[in-house]
């Protein structure tokens, strides 16, 4: 059995779309990081998105664990022209498209960005490569809200719209196990 221990990176305190924009995480809550570290399996391998907020969080969790190179396919959704803009500004400038993006996720994408379907395919391909390279292992994957939701949706058999209702807090753990089929062990657990 392979288990993915999806960890959402530390908080960025950004109030705007933060997709491929490289903004740092606030990792000053050392007690939260210690609790998270204690919750995660000690013999797991650690991989992360290459964006600094995920990579720095993963580095903080390495300790005795094996750290794999950053994985670009574990990046957050590419928000294109929306990246760095506030949610209200996006809704004002693209009222119909922004409403569709949240109400009909799947094939709807931000201008010059990617849709749920595109991001899910990218992330799922990375997950399959990691499972092939490290069969039967515990894999701590430090990534982003959207990335984790795509994999949670697959494991739970949810539509993108249904999955968007799930909260994924910073420094939370969503554990998904694969043994021929996906199973959700826990979601959004904050140790």
Model pLDDT for residues 21-51, shown as the tens digit of each residue: 999 999 999 999 999 999 999 999 999 999 9
pTM for the structure as a whole: 0.96
141 within some domain: yes
Nearest one of 146, 152, 145 to 175, comparing CA atoms: 152
145 within some domain: yes
97 within some domain: no
152 within some domain: yes
d(CA 39, CA 96): 42
Residue 13: its pLDDT value, please?
93
d(CA 134, CA 45): 9
Give the bridge partners for 67, in sequence order. Answer: 46
- pLDDT tens for each residue of the chain, 191 residues long: 999 999 999 999 999 999 999 999 999 999 999 999 999 999 999 999 999 999 999 999 998 899 999 999 999 999 999 999 999 999 999 999 999 999 999 999 999 999 999 999 999 999 999 999 999 999 999 999 999 999 999 999 999 999 999 999 999 999 999 999 999 999 999 99
Q: Which domain holds residue 37?
A: 2-78+115-189
Residue 74: its pLDDT value, please?
98
Give the bridge partners for 176, in sequence order. Answer: 4, 184
29 within some domain: yes
109 within some domain: no
Q: What's the structural domain count of the chain?
A: 1
Residue 140: its pLDDT value, please?
98
d(CA 110, CA 158): 22
7 within some domain: yes
d(CA 35, CA 29): 10
Residue 63: its pLDDT value, please?
83
Residue 137 CA neighbour count, 13 Å, CB half: 20
Beta-carbon contacts of 169 under 8 Å, excluding residues fewer than 6 positions away, are 8, 188, 190
Model pLDDT for residues 79-96, shown as the tens digit of each residue: 999 999 999 999 999 999
Classify the C-alpha dihedral 132-134-139-144 as positive or negative: negative
54 within some domain: yes
CATH number of the domain bearing residue 182: 3.40.50.1240
């Amino acid at each position: 059995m392979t288990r993915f221990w999806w960890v959402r990176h530390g908080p960025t305190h950004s109030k705007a779309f933060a997709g491929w924009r490289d903004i740092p995480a606030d990792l000053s809550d050392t007690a939260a990081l210690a609790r998270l570290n204690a919750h995660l399996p000690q013999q797991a391998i650690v991989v992360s998105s290459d964006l600094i907020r995920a990579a720095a969080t993963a580095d903080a969790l390495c300790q005795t664990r094996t750290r794999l190179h950053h994985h670009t396919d574990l990046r957050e959704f590419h928000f294109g022209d929306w990246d760095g803009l506030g949610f209200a500004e996006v809704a004002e400038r693209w009222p119909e498209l922004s409403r569709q993006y949240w109400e009909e996720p799947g094939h709807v994408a931000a201008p010059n960005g990617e849709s749920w379907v595109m991001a899910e395919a990218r992330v799922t391909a990375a997950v399959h490569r990691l499972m092939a390279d490290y069969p039967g292992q515990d894999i701590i994957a430090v990534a982003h809200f959207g990335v984790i939701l795509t994999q949670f949706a697959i494991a739970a058999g949810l539509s993108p719209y249904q999955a968007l209702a799930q909260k994924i807090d910073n420094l939370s753990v969503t554990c998904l196990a694969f043994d021929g089929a996906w199973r959700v062990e826990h979601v959004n657990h904050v140790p």
